[in-house]
Amino acid sequence: SLRIAVLASGRGSNLRAILDAIADGRLDAQVVGVFSDKPAAAALEMVDAGRRWAMDARALGDRAAFDAAMGDAVAASAPDWIVCAGYMRILGPAFVARFRGRLINIHPSLLPRHRGLHTHARALQAGDAEHGASVHFVIPELDAGTVIAQVRLPVRQDDTPDTLAERLLPLEHRLLCAVLALAAHAALSEQDGTVLLDGQAVFKPLLL
């Protein structure tokens, strides 16, 4: 079964969705560790103490030192895939290089639209008719790696950033679990911006 390390900074609803999918037998995987830059993150409480790692990033000061410490802990859990699920700290180039190709992120927008923060507000401001979420490979450039799969939803006239976020969240959970289920059953990789499944090119991101 797929060994998954999860990086999370906050409430952990995406981690919860992964754990539920595993418990229900929808995902042949195990969460081998939860790693956080926020020692108080609710996500940490979702696994037993032996699978938790957290360090206040401010304690180390230096991004490279924090990334190296977390990277050692992640590597020690021997994961097949490393999933950023609400991990809100930028990963430095050395961390990305160490795990590149098996490091993915869920981002709450239809990439390449709205990289970075405040995606729901920015989708509304831009007058987007559709919004959504993307799972993508992580590269050093923020939210710019190859997109594996996306979900879409129509924006309503009376939407606010909060209502959009709330309608999107359950779709995010399905999206992330679907990508991990795919990774559990096929060789999922990337080459020159194209996703490969068992070595075959998928020319567009999968739309769930």
Considering only residues 112 to 131 of the shown chain, the ones binding ligand GAR according to CB under 6 A are none
Check: CB of residue 144 under 8 Å from CB of residue 133: no
154 bridge partner residues: 130
CB of 11 to ligand GAR, least distance (A): 4
- Give the residue, chosen from 33, 86, 92, 132, that forms a contact with ligand GAR under the rule CB under 6 A: 86
Check: CB of residue 135 under 8 Å from CB of residue 179: yes
- Give the residue, chosen from 38, 107, 114, 131, that forms a contact with ligand GAR under the rule CB under 6 A: 107
Check: CB of residue 56 under 8 Å from CB of residue 44: no
C-alpha 74/C-alpha 102 separation (Å) is 12
Q: Of 47-55, 104-112, 149-157, 178-186, which part binds ligand GAR (CB under 6 A)? A: 104-112
**Annotated binding-site ranges for (6R)-10-formyltetrahydrofolate:** 63, 88-91, 105
Nearer to ligand GAR, 15 or 32 (CB): 15
Phi and psi at 14, nearest 5°, equal -70, -40
Residue nearest to ligand GAR (CB): 86
Per rule CB under 6 A, is residue 12 in the interface with ligand GAR?
A: yes
- Residue 22 CB partners (closer than 8 Å, separation 6+): 29, 30, 31
Taking residues 135 to 174 in sequence order and writing x for each that binds ligand GAR by CB under 6 A, - otherwise, the string is: -------------------------------------x--
Considering only residues 23 to 82 of the shown chain, the ones binding ligand GAR according to CB under 6 A are none
C-alpha 180/C-alpha 106 separation (Å) is 11
C-alpha 109/C-alpha 168 separation (Å) is 9
- Give the residue, chosen from 11, 156, 185, 204, that forms a contact with ligand GAR under the rule CB under 6 A: 11
Q: Of 5-13, 21-29, 48-56, 62-70, which part binds ligand GAR (CB under 6 A)? A: 5-13
- 114 belongs to the catalytic site: no
Helices (H), the chain: 13-23, 57-60, 63-76, 93-99, 119-125, 161-185
In the complex, the residues that contact ligand GAR under the rule CB under 6 A are: 8, 10-14, 85-86, 88, 106-108, 133, 172
| Residues forming the active site | 107
